[in-house]
Structure 1
Amino acid sequence: MIFSLILLVLIVAAALWLVLEPLRRAAPEDPDAPERARLMAERDRLYGELNTLEDESRRPDLERRAALTLRALDALPPASKAGNPARSRTLALIGVGVAALLTVAGALTFIPRWQLASLDAGEAGKVQAVLKLPGLKATAQRTEKNADYLAWGRAAFDSSNYDQAVSAYGNALKTDPRQPEALRRLGILLLTRGEQTGQQLSTEDAQRAALLIRTAAQLAPKEPESQLLLGFALSRFGQDQEALAALERYRTLDPAGRDADDVITAIRARLNQSDPALSLYAGSCASCHGASGAGGIGPSLRESTLSRAALRSITVNGKGAMPAYPNLTDAQLGLLLDLLEKWQKEG
């Protein structure tokens, strides 16, 4: 911010110097200018008559008068070269033009950066991506390098220019087909094409999108976006349990990430309505062990190796920081233990 302000001040100072310098250098008006102009006009007139003279008897008189005129011109003080007002005005106008161009250039370059300071990080990032997009596109198309295609695709995706993102990531995959970012983003764009174009997604495109996203998650399972987009895709195919597990992995990998909150809430609502065991688990256990048992404050129930009897004992009596739930009915306890054993098998 401070650096940009300093640069803009320097541009304004340079513009003012260009405007004022020609005027500063202009000397005061020549006091002998009228007489000099009269004598030069007389000289030119006499020379003109001498060149076209037909009566030679007049030549001596004309030559004498021309000599006297030249002598009078020589007697005048020399005119200052810097005292040409027409030239100074021309230079000043040129300075004004250059100053205007510099000011406009400074405004276009630096003022948007000041405006970015008033935006939140997400909005500012999107604006910056839009500004960079034409240059990144031109570079990628010129070099045809993988890194340049990825940079173009990233800027296009972040600025919601999805057609360009598809083109950029598609070209990137031609150079290297095992790139998680390009795979998962192409997959999610293909999966959500219907929302963007209003056309219904075909079964083939849906399967292709799912394959791209799953492949990216396999190649880069520890990248938060891999799990996030996998969770989104699975939820669209109605695989709520698997989607919830992927989104919880996303939260584990990026604890500050909030992009999955709405989807997780919707999935939990669907699961709790359709499955009494999940409804019971959500009300008593999910706050510590995670919505799908993958762990949170408490340990992962999916990685547990406890027997059914041990799980029953800890649930009813509690253990350590784990509270006791002695008021569960046999039917409720059976549903809960069945769910936990199912998760143990799934891992």
Structure 2
Amino acid sequence: MIFSLLLLVLIGAAALWLVLEPLRRAAPEDPDAPERARLTAERNRLYAELNTLEDESRRPGLERRAALTLRALDGLPPASTAKNPSRSRTLALTGVGAAALLTVAGALTFIPRWQLASLDVGEASKVQAVLKLPGLKQTAQRSEKNADYLAWGRAAFDSANYDQAVSAYGNALKTDPRQPEALRRLGILLLTRGEQIGQAISAEDAERAGLLIRTAAQLAPEEPESQLLLGFALSRFGQDQEALAALERYRTLDPAGRDADDVITSLRARLNQSDPALKLYAASCASCHGAAGGGGIGPSLRESILSRAALRSITVNGKGAMPAYPNLTDAELKLLLDLMEQWQQEG
């Protein structure tokens, strides 16, 4: 927010300087006038189209074009003015008004989107969810409709505003107690509340949270998030076998999902389900390459494109910061190489 305000002040100051400069001195005819006129016309056309837009799917593209047009305008040298001081004064005052309107419009539309363009997808989604929260909250509290409570809860949950998420999902369940999303997300928030406030959760609250998550999984067993949160909850309750089954079910429902990889690896290591490769990896490799091969101090093994021969050579002889493991038996080395090749295929 502070950055946005500073940016608006700078834009306003720059705009005022540019439009009031003609009052200070006269200058020769503007050599960039044709290009400036073309860009200005394009900018005005895009603004008009955005103001009357009905197909929201076209908005990002139009806003990107408008942003590029404004940048091109900003890149031109300041426009020279005619030698008529009264005309210069009129143009300057008109420019001041236009600059003020554009600054306000930018604060509400374009400037936040320019800032989002510098973020990755996850960060941008979180910022957008935060920006939507006040309006969604107001709508839900005014309408008291289930769909509005869910929309508010979803935005709060996605932006990590968990107090609002608890309130929104709690109200949604009052209108309809059989909503899997509200049940499981409210349950996982109750279960992890202790971590947020630095206090241990009571056995009664933990049992209540577990019941909510289990109920959601029963109502919507084919939704990946149901199995994901069920697996997390069961692992907290020490039910490793059931937790592993739920998390593997999650990966079946969402093959691209990687949220459970570390927990699955830990569960398999604890259960020692006839998987000596994971046990060997956890003892020798996980501290650098991550519990599930996703990378850490060392590179990701899942994104590796090395051949089996290259993997073998680096494992046995070391390379750079990677230590050598010359004492691995042939059987142990085969287990590790098979595991790394499996992760390469999974990506």
Relative to structure 1, is the Cα distance of residues 13 and 117 closer, same or farther in structure 2, using a 3 angstrom cutoff?
A: closer
Task: Report runs of 4+ in structure 1 exceeding 4 Å deviation.
Answer: 8-14, 87-92
Aligned sequence identity (%): 80
1:4 is the counterpart of 2:63: yes
Superposed CA offset, 1:98-141 (max 9, x none): 42331342255223323333333222211111111111111111
Which residue type is aligned with residue 3 of structure 1? L
| Secondary structure of the corresponding residue to residue 147 of structure 1 | helix
Separation of aligned partners in 1, 2:119 and 2:84: 54
Which residue type is aligned with residue 283 of structure 1? P
| Secondary structure of the corresponding residue to residue 165 of structure 1 | helix
Separation of aligned partners in 2, 1:138 and 1:97: 33
Which residue type is aligned with residue 207 of structure 1? E
Counting only pairs closer than 5 Å after superposition, residues 53-92 of structure 1 correspond to structure 2 as 89=89, 92=92
Relative to structure 1, is the Cα distance of residues 267 and 284 closer, same or farther in structure 2, using a 3 angstrom cutoff?
A: closer
Which residue of the partner structure matches residue 117 of structure 1? Answer: 117
Counting only pairs closer than 5 Å after superposition, residues 101-116 of structure 1 correspond to structure 2 as 101-106=101-106, 108-116=108-116
1:134 is the counterpart of 2:128: no
Tell me which structure has the larger Cα radius of gyration.
1
Q: CA RMSD in A?
A: 3.1
Q: Offset of 1:284 from its aligned partner? A: 8.2
Structure 2 portions without partners, runs of 5+: 1-59, 74-78, 280-347
Which residue type is aligned with residue 184 of structure 2? R
Separation of aligned partners in 1, 2:160 and 2:84: 62
1:239 is the counterpart of 2:239: yes
Separation of aligned partners in 1, 2:71 and 2:263: 52
CA contact (8 A) 1:136 1:148 kept: yes
Structure 1 portions without partners, runs of 5+: 15-19, 30-84, 273-277, 287-347
1:257 is the counterpart of 2:263: no
Which residue type is aligned with residue 66 of structure 2? L
Counting only pairs closer than 5 Å after superposition, residues 35-46 of structure 1 correspond to structure 2 as none
CA contact (8 A) 1:8 1:106 kept: no
More displaced 10-residue stretch of structure 1: 128-137 or 252-261: 128-137
Separation of aligned partners in 2, 1:285 and 1:12: 53
CA contact (8 A) 2:234 2:242 kept: yes
Aligned pairs, number: 215
CA contact (8 A) 2:269 2:278 kept: no
Which residue of the partner structure matches residue 305 of structure 1? Answer: none
Superposed CA offset, 1:243-281 (max 9, x none): 000000000000000000111111111112xxxxx2xx2
Counting only pairs closer than 5 Å after superposition, residues 195-344 of structure 1 correspond to structure 2 as 195-272=195-272, 278=273, 281-283=274-276
Which residue type is aligned with residue 218 of structure 2? Q
CA contact (8 A) 1:11 1:106 kept: no
Separation of aligned partners in 2, 1:268 and 1:13: 57
CA contact (8 A) 1:12 1:103 kept: no
Relative to structure 1, is the Cα distance of residues 10 and 135 closer, same or farther in structure 2, using a 3 angstrom cutoff?
A: farther
CA contact (8 A) 1:11 1:103 kept: no
CA contact (8 A) 1:231 1:247 kept: yes
Separation of aligned partners in 2, 1:94 and 1:263: 62
Superposed CA offset, 1:138-190 (max 9, x none): 11111111111100000000000000000000110111000000000000000
Relative to structure 1, is the Cα distance of residues 8 and 124 closer, same or farther in structure 2, using a 3 angstrom cutoff?
A: closer
State the TM-score, normalized to the length of structure 1: 0.56
Separation of aligned partners in 1, 2:228 and 2:181: 12
Which residue of the partner structure matches residue 186 of structure 2? Answer: 186
Separation of aligned partners in 1, 2:142 and 2:162: 21
State the TM-score, normalized to the length of structure 2: 0.56
Superposed CA offset, 1:38-69 (max 9, x none): xxxxxxxxxxxxxxxxxxxxxxxxxxxxxxxx
